[in-house]
């Protein structure tokens, strides 16, 4: 694959690039069928608010109690203890993407620009010891180690869609807790309008940082109400286990209604700020990657349509594409965050 400069996206649907064998691997479904059926029958809408109780409507509470089990662990990495099966944002009857595909088809430029590069190169990442600082417009700046972060909130398994800006998607069983759980500990003040995420950029651990593909470290940002929304997840694992290095160990952001590049990996610093931060891809090419980057099938990327997507692991390149859903299918939960905004202007 040719080296990608900062003004280019890593892949686009019309590139003609050869697809890896993982994309035609038969898919395994590990979820409890009873839980899936309950969610399908009862719905999976999530209402805004704080805490798990506020996330669940009565139908979801019934679905959660449907004798389901967590998505089966493949037993490759250490299990995260005390994980409970939660249904905020869960997807009724959509197949969960196979662990092999989730962990071998990645964008993580710190380890290279090919989709297979993170799985091949991320063994050099050292996820322990690890600390994350929370600073800026807060009353209580914090620096927490990974063990403290793991204990900060109740671990929940949440099955979210992931939609890449490149036109492909997955369905992933993440493990973590709402980002708001962490941010609240720092006591944001009234000037905290945005949240900036800064990731690790160590050339000794991350060979891709030696390249000029982006201006390192990787930076992302959210508006404060987006960051505090209960669907916004601080993820520490997937499939019930700790995050594999190539998926953003030891902790990453997951914002399911935005394109995947908004979900920063291997975070080391969180800053609450008054002015809109400049995200890495926005800095690289503002005309193609806006600050919000909400999934929107009506707003095309300048070089390809966003109206449909290719689900990884479901038959390969010749499988019919799926229609992309507004806000990646989470419009009922997050649409009110953008009421009155011109979504074509604020892309």
Q: What is the C-alpha separation between 165 and 11, in angstroms, rounded?
A: 9
pLDDT, one tens digit per residue, over 61-97 is: 223 322 346 888 788 899 998 898 765 555 556 899 9
Residues of the chain with pLDDT under 70: 1-69, 86-93, 316-317
pLDDT, one tens digit per residue, over 131-185 is: 999 999 999 999 999 999 999 999 999 999 999 999 999 999 999 999 999 999 9
- CA 71, 308, 168, 214 dihedral sign is negative
pTM: 0.81
Give yes or no for a cis peptide into 118 (omega within 30° of 0). no
Model pLDDT, residue 76: 86
Burial class (CB in 10 A: 0-12, 13-18, 19+), 143: exposed
Q: What is the C-alpha separation between 242 and 81, in angstroms, rounded?
A: 10
């Amino acid at each position: 694959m040719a080296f990608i400069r900062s003004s280019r996206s890593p892949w686009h649907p019309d590139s003609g690039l050869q697809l890896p064998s993982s994309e035609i691997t038969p898919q395994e479904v590990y979820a409890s069928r009873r839980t899936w059926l309950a969610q399908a029958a009862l719905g999976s809408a999530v209402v805004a608010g704080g805490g798990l109780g506020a996330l669940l409507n009565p139908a979801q509470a019934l679905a959660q109690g449907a004798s389901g089990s967590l998505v089966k662990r493949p037993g490759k990495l250490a299990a995260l203890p005390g994980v409970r099966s939660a249904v905020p944002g869960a997807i009724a009857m959509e197949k969960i993407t196979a662990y092999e595909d989730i962990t071998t088809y990645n964008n993580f430029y710190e380890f290279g620009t090919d989709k297979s590069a993170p799985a091949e190169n991320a063994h050099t990442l050292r996820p322990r010891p690890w600390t994350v600082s929370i600073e800026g417009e807060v009353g209580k700046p914090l620096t927490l180690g990974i063990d403290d972060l793991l204990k900060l909130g109740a671990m929940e398994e949440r099955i979210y869609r992931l939609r890449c800006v490149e036109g492909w998607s997955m369905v992933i069983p993440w493990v973590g807790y709402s980002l708001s759980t962490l941010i609240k500990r720092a006591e944001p003040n009234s000037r905290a309008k945005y949240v900036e995420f800064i990731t690790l950029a160590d050339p000794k651990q991350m060979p891709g940082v030696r390249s000029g593909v982006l201006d390192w470290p990787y930076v992302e940002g959210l508006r404060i109400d987006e960051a505090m929304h209960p669907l916004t997840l601080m993820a520490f694992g997937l499939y019930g286990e700790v995050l594999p290095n190539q998926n953003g160990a030891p902790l990453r952001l997951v914002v399911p209604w935005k394109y995947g590049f908004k979900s920063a990996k291997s975070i080391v610093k969180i800053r609450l700020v008054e002015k809109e931060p400049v995200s890495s891809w926005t800095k690289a090419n503002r005309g193609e990657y806006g600050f919000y980057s909400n999934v929107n099938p009506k707003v095309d990327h300048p070089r390809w349509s966003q109206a449909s997507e290719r689900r990884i692991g479901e038959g390969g390149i010749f499988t019919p594409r799926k229609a992309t859903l507004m806000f990646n299918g989470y419009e009922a939960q997050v649409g009110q965050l953008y009421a009155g905004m011109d979504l074509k202007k604020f892309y």
